[in-house]
C-alpha cells in the first residue's frame, strides 16, 4: 500500500461530481428555461475547487501551467486542458447567460458538458497503466464515470430540495430508480473487477487482498453502496424524498466515492512490488 493521495482523491471525485451535475442540468435546461447563471455557478465552483485542490498534489504547484505542454502523449496534459476548457466554457456560459443570448448559452453549456465528459475519460486514461495492474483495465474508466453519474444526480436532487428552482427535470422517482440501478451496476462491476484481479498476476492479487482486508473497503460497501441503495429505493417508491433524505443520500454517496477513490490510489500495487 503506497499512498492515499488525498488531493487526487478530492480532485477526481469533485470534478466528476461537477461533470455529473452538468450532465443532469444541461439537458434539463435545454429548453432555455431557468436562471442559467445560477445553475452553472455550482459546477463551475466545484470544478475550480477540484482543480485548486489538485495543485496540492504537486511538488511545485507554481509551475502547474507547464502541465499543458505535453498534449501529444500525456493524458495528464489532456485532462488539464479539457477540465480547464470546461471551466472556461462554464464561466463563459455564466457571462453570456446575463446577456440572455439563449442560443449561445445552450451551445456553450453543451460544449462544456462534452469537454467535461471527455475530461473524465482523460482522467481515467491517466491511470490505465500497465505498471499498475489494478488500474490497467476498463474498470478505471467505468468507475470514474459511475462516480460522476451517481454524485451528479444526487447533488441535483439535493439542490432542488434545498432551493426549489427552475432547473426541473430532477424528478424524485426517476432519479431514485436511476441511482438504484447505477448502484447495482457499481456493486456488480466491483465484484467482477475483484474476480478479474484475483485471476490476474501476483500484484493484482495483492490489491484484492489489501481491499478485502481493509475495514475501509467494507465501510465503503455499506455506507457508499448498500445504504444509498436502500435510500434510493425509498425515493423510487415514494417518488419524493425529504430534504434530510436527499442530504443523507448525497453525503453517503460522496463519502463512499471518496473512500473508494482513496482505496483506488492506496491499493494499486505496482508491478515492481512483485520483486519484493
Partner 1 sequence: MKRFLSSLLVILTIALFLAGCGSSKKSVSVQSGSTDENYRGVIYQDGLQGPESGKPNI
Partner 2 sequence: MGKQLGFLVDTEKCIGCFGCEMACKNEYQAEVKPRWRRVYQQKEGNLPYPERNFMSLACNHCADPACLKVCPVGAYSKREDGIVLHDHGRCIGCRLCTMACPYGAPQYNEKEGKVEKCQLCYQKIDRGEEPACVAACPVGALELIKDLASFPGPGTVKELPGFPDITITRPSVRFVPPRTGIQIRRDAE
Binding site for partner 2 (CB under 8 A): 57-61, 63-64, 66-70, 73-77, 80, 126-127, 129-132, 268, 270-272, 274-276
- Interaction partner, residue 83 (partner 2, partner 1, none; CB < 5-8 Å by kind): none
**76-110 burial by CB neighbour count: b if 16+ within 10 A, else e?**
ebbbbbbbbbbbebbbbbbebbeeeeeeebbebbb
242 binds partner 1 (CB under 8 A): yes
**Smallest distance from partner 1 to CB 37, Å:** 34
User: 188 to 217, contacts with partner 1 by CB under 8 A?
Assistant: 215-216
Residue 223 partner contact from partner 2, partner 1, none using kind-dependent CB cut-offs of 5 to 8 Å: partner 1
Residue 94 vs 269, nearer CB to partner 2 = 269
* Residue 99: contacted member of partner 1, partner 2, none (CB under 5 to 8 Å, by partner type): none
Q: Which one, 122 or 157, has the nearer CB to partner 2?
A: 122
Residues binding partner 1: number (CB under 8 A) = 13
Specify whether the backbone of 2 is left (phi greater than 0), alpha (psi in -120 to 50) or beta: alpha
65 binds partner 1 (CB under 8 A): no
Q: CA nearest 123: which of 225, 204, 28, 50?
A: 50
Scanning the chain, the segments in alpha helix (DSSP H) are 6-28, 36-55, 75-99, 102-127, 138-162, 172-198, 202-213, 215-219, 227-238, 243-266
227 binds, among partner 1, partner 2, none (CB under 5 to 8 A by kind): partner 1
Instruction: Report yes or no: 17 and 148 within 8 Å, Cβ to Cβ.
Output: yes
Residue 239 touches which member of partner 1, partner 2, none, C-beta under 5-8 Å by kind = none
In whole angstroms, what is the distance from residue 171 CA to residue 151 CA?
A: 15
Nearer to partner 1, 104 or 251 (CB): 251
Cell of 211: 481491499
- By C-beta, is 105 or 268 nearer to partner 2? 268
Kindly list the distances between the CA atom of residue 123 and the CA atoms of 128, 146, 178, 217, in Å, as whole numbers in the listed order. Answer: 9, 13, 24, 22
Binder to partner 1 among 18, 227, 250, 258 (CB under 8 A)? 227
- Helices 227-238 and 172-198: angle between axes, nearest 10 degrees: 150
Q: Of residues 65, 138, 162, 218, which one binds partner 1 by CB under 8 A?
A: 218
Interacting residues with partner 1 (CB under 8 A): 215-216, 218-219, 222-223, 227, 230, 234, 242, 244-245, 248
Amino acid at each position: 500500500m503506497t499512498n492515499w493521495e488525498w488531493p487526487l482523491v478530492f480532485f477526481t471525485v469533485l470534478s466528476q461530481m461537477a461533470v455529473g451535475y452538468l450532465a443532469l442540468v444541461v439537458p434539463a435546461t435545454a429548453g432555455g428555461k431557468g436562471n442559467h447563471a445560477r445553475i452553472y455557478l455550482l459546477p463551475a465552483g466545484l470544478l475550480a475547487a477540484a482543480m485548486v485542490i489538485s495543485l496540492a498534489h504537486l511538488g511545485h504547484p507554481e509551475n502547474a501551467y507547464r502541465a499543458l505542454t505535453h498534449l501529444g502523449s500525456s493524458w495528464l496534459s489532456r485532462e488539464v486542458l479539457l477540465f480547464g476548457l470546461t471551466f472556461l466554457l462554464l464561466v463563459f456560459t455564466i457571462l453570456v447567460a446575463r446577456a440572455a443570448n439563449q442560443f449561445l448559452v445552450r451551445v456553450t453549456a453543451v460544449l462544456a458538458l462534452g469537454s467535461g465528459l471527455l475530461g473524465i475519460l482523460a482522467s481515467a486514461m491517466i491511470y490505465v497503466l500497465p505498471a499498475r495492474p489494478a488500474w490497467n483495465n476498463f474498470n478505471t474508466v467505468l468507475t470514474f464515470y459511475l462516480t460522476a453519474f451517481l454524485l451528479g444526480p444526487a447533488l441535483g436532487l439535493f439542490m432542488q430540495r434545498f432551493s426549489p428552482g427552475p432547473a426541473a427535470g430532477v424528478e424524485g422517482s426517476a432519479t431514485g430508480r436511476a441511482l438504484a440501478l447505477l448502484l447495482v451496476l457499481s456493486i456488480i462491476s466491483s465484484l467482477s473487477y475483484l474476480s478479474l484481479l484475483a485471476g490476474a498476476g501476483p500484484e493484482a492479487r495483492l490489491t484484492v487482498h489489501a481491499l478485502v482486508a481493509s475495514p475501509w473497503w467494507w465501510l465503503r460497501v455499506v455506507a457508499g453502496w448498500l445504504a444509498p441503495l436502500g435510500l434510493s429505493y425509498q425515493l423510487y417508491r415514494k417518488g419524493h424524498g425529504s430534504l434530510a433524505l436527499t442530504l443523507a443520500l448525497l453525503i453517503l454517496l460522496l463519502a463512499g466515492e471518496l473512500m473508494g477513490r482513496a482505496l483506488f490510489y492506496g491499493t494499486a500495487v505496482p508491478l515492481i512490488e512483485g520483486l519484493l
